[in-house]
Amino acid sequence: MIHIYFVGTAGSGKSTLTHAFNEWCHRQGYDSIAVNLDPGVKRIPYSPEIDVREWISLEEVMKEYNLGPNGAQVVCADMLALNVKELEERLGEYRADYILFDTPGQLELFVFRSTGKVIIEQLGKEKSLLAFLIDPSLATTPTNFASQLLLSATTQFRLGAPLVNILTKIDIVDKEALDMIIEWGKKPEKLQEDLMKGSSLYSQMSEGIMEVIREMEAHTALIPISSETWEGMEDLYAEIQNIFYGGEDLERR
């Protein structure tokens, strides 16, 4: 059983990819389920097998504690950490090979508060993979892309599990921009070179940042994916096999 946590900034495509990858797995005959970990989400584009909204309600928290939506989101995230046993029990009802977790819209709720760490550790860190989603619209300049990689590195640093970077929504990115981002993903030296072309004021800082990116191996595979056309789903699956079974397909074991 492998746990995949889809993490990324708001709107990066977590919910859409959780659903699309789940569908793709079913289509291939793989055994997967989807879990919604976002208590605050109003509408998700699929019906997850497990949904934390079954036991945590943003509306009720807003009423009970007299909070606005942002404050209530924080309380809900903390409640989720406290209710991890309930989640574990619900998961115990399934025997799927792949559990796909759709995490809260705002990345900071899962990454910087205790929620994400508590859940991953309680459910088993050794079988967990972080899939960090990078929205291409936040990655079109060297500075933006490097900032996303730093955020990805921070996520891995905080949560302490293997991580893959995923470039989402590639069906709506123009080819030139896409090729550029993919090249930066493959060649850190190219990213560094392009970063240095920017303001010299920050060149030393850029060098330091690149060092962190290399050091933390945030610069592992960048997998370009579209949840619309399903391009790249196969690559994500292959990378999962690679990380957990050294490339040997679970289905063929």
Ligand X SMILES: Nc1nc2c(ncn2[C@@H]2O[C@H](COP(=O)(O)OP(=O)(O)O)[C@@H](O)[C@H]2O)c(=O)[nH]1
Residues that bind ligand X (CB under 6 A): 8, 10-16, 105, 168-169, 171-172, 226-228
**Distance from C-alpha of 152 to C-alpha of 7, rounded to nearest angstrom:** 9
Between 15 and 152, name the residue whose CB sits nearer to ligand X.
15
**Distance from C-alpha of 192 to C-alpha of 99, rounded to nearest angstrom:** 36
Looking at residues 90 to 119 of the shown chain, list those that interact with Mg ion (rule: CB under 5 A): 105
Between 14 and 117, name the residue whose CB sits nearer to Mg ion.
14
64 makes contact, choosing from ligand X, Mg ion, none, with CB < 5 to 8 Å by partner type, with: none
Smallest CA-to-CA distance from 86 within 56, 111, 107 is with 56
168 makes contact, choosing from ligand X, Mg ion, none, with CB < 5 to 8 Å by partner type, with: ligand X
Smallest CA-to-CA distance from 98 within 189, 190, 8, 35 is with 35
- CA 18, 23, 29, 32: dihedral to nearest 10 degrees? 30
Q: Nearest distance from residue 105's CB to Mg ion, in Å?
A: 5
Residue reference for tokens 């946590």: 5
Is the Cα torsion angle 193, 130, 45, 235 positive or negative in sign?
positive
Q: Which residue is nearest to Mg ion (CB)?
A: 15
Between 105 and 136, name the residue whose CB sits nearer to Mg ion.
105
Q: Is 15 in the site for Mg ion (CB under 5 A)?
A: yes
Between 32 and 106, name the residue whose CB sits nearer to ligand X.
106
**Distance from C-alpha of 103 to C-alpha of 52, rounded to nearest angstrom:** 11
Q: Is 168 in the site for Mg ion (CB under 5 A)?
A: no
Between 38 and 49, name the residue whose CB sits nearer to ligand X.
38
Q: Which parts of this chain interact with Mg ion (CB under 5 A)?
A: 14-15, 105
